[in-house]
Structure 1
Amino acid sequence: MAKKKRVTRKQLLKEPDEFLTVSARAIQFVASNQRSVFVTLIGVIVVALAFAGFRYFSNLSERKAYAMFEQGRLHYLAGISGHKASDAQEKAIEQFEAVIREYPSTHAAQLSLIAYADMSYRKGDYQKAIELYQKALGAFSGEGAIQKLIWDGIAYAYEAQKDYKSAAEYFQRITDTQDEFMKADAYYNLARMHEALNNQEKALKAYNCLVQDYPESVSFQIAKEKVLRLKGALTSK
């Protein structure tokens, strides 16, 4: 009988995807689809803010702007749900552009910037998404949770452009904040960007932060795997 060939630790480190645990593979799938989670979350935020703003503002410009935004919002949600997604997205963009152009100082225009940015990302127009998100940052500069969502959107858009350095900068903005909202995912994404930049030390540090501080995170198991592999890789150098 032929002797079974032993797989060395060095080979394991070179081919990590072949030796991930079953649970880590499942978590990796969830983590790789975080952008879909973000899309749903930003949709919920936009809807909540829309209704809150509609009750609050009473002047004519706001009412007209919100009426247009509401039409865009309905198409936006249809686009997310996948029902005639392409047509719905185009109609949503038309409405959001009109609100921003005709009523730029309204709250509805601020919401339209976020929704339009997300629609641009979904269409693959990443530079347009970044520009719109940047404008939205000015409108929501004092609102921490929304600001984090916008940073997250900018980071994903930069990642889609393979500008991993800029993406890392925006994910790190989230990890540097005091409150815990979105920080676990941001550490995971920050680590991914450092891996893409071949900066194993910084990737290890970010994965370690996730493992130590966020054991309930959906990315916890795969982060543990990454910590072990990166430590081994750095030790073997």
Structure 2
Amino acid sequence: MAKKRVTRKQLLKEPDEFITFSNRIIRLGVAYKQHLMIAVGVFCAAVLVYVGMQYVSARSRAKAFNLLENAVARYDRELAQSGPAKALADVQGDFELILNKYGSNAGGRLARLTFAQYHFAAGGAERAIELYNAALVDFEGDPLYRSLVLSGLGYAHSLKGDSPTAISFFEQVVSGTVAGLKSDALFNLGLLYARMGQYDKSKESFQRIKEEFPESFYADMAGEKAKL
């Protein structure tokens, strides 16, 4: 099968730099023809190395996402039929393969986060925490995914029975920049503080949902709990 041709415009990520560098070489070319040929040769070799690395990286990411998509589809089918524990067992090998081969690229990082969520759903708090901790490093510079990981760690530690640690993670979500996850974190804080007997803090968390996120899914439930 013929390989799909990829143009220089598609592959080269800094076209302005290419044009600037080329123009400089051309201006020098009149006086230094031999040097020009050497410079062009070195430049082209560098471009080929860069393009090759980008191509391999793109193929690796595409492969990881394709494997992840298939694994998620299998999980969803098994989940509907047999529940989260059986669904997790069914895709365990798929996710281990993705993490082992592609764990450092975007598809692998997303697979790690998804795998953590599946372990949590199956009741595997310890393994979920391990994966979430790794994902916390993966998404350090991404506010949205970092908040999702922090929320996941809160849920996993809550499942484990470690309320103080769970609270610390949900508090980070609340103090973060992703507004869409804050009402969920506040609701969990309300429940966790109540579990620990800190009823004033519990009521305060529920009240914040009612005041700051009145359109939230949790607003009505939080309003009822704030009255208790």
Report the secondary structure of 1:151's partner residue: helix
Structure ID, larger Rg: 2
C-alpha displacement of 1:219: 2.3
The whole-number CA distance in structure 1 between the counterparts of 2:226 and 2:66 is: 50
CA contact (8 A) 2:143 2:177 kept: no
Partner of 2:70: 71
The alignment of Structure 1 onto Structure 2 pairs a total of residues equal to: 173
Instruction: List alignment gaps of at least 5 residues for structure 2.
Output: 1-54
The whole-number CA distance in structure 2 between the counterparts of 1:162 and 1:194 is: 13
Partner of 1:47: none
Deviations 1:76-115 (A, max 9, x none): 32244x1344554223221111111122322221011011
CA contact (8 A) 1:145 1:181 kept: no
Partner of 2:125: 126
Partner of 2:224: 225
Paired AA for residue 81 in structure 2 = H
Partner of 1:32: none
TM-score, normalising length from structure 1?
0.66
- Which of 56, 80, 83 is the aligned partner of 2:81? 83
Instruction: List alignment gaps of at least 5 residues for structure 1.
Output: 1-55, 230-237
Paired AA for residue 83 in structure 1 = Q
Paired AA for residue 207 in structure 2 = N
C-alpha displacement of 1:69: 2.4
C-alpha displacement of 1:61: 3.0
CA contact (8 A) 2:75 2:91 kept: yes
C-alpha displacement of 1:129: 0.2
Report the secondary structure of 1:192's partner residue: helix
CA contact (8 A) 1:175 1:183 kept: yes
Alpha-carbon RMSD: 2.2
Task: Report matched runs for 1:137-176 at 5 Å.
Answer: 137-176=136-175
Partner of 1:194: 193
Partner of 1:102: 101
CA contact (8 A) 2:144 2:178 kept: no
Paired AA for residue 216 in structure 1 = E
C-alpha displacement of 1:176: 0.7
C-alpha displacement of 1:179: 3.9
The whole-number CA distance in structure 1 between the counterparts of 2:178 and 2:58 is: 35
Report the secondary structure of 1:182's partner residue: helix
The whole-number CA distance in structure 2 between the counterparts of 1:116 and 1:157 is: 13
CA contact (8 A) 1:191 1:202 kept: yes
Report the secondary structure of 1:90's partner residue: helix
Partner of 1:114: 113
The whole-number CA distance in structure 2 between the counterparts of 1:58 and 1:171 is: 35
Partner of 1:204: 203
Q: Percent identity?
A: 25
Residues 84 and 207 of structure 1: is their aligned pair in 2 closer, same or farther, counting only changes over 3 Å?
closer
C-alpha displacement of 1:157: 1.0
C-alpha displacement of 1:57: 8.0
Paired AA for residue 113 in structure 2 = I
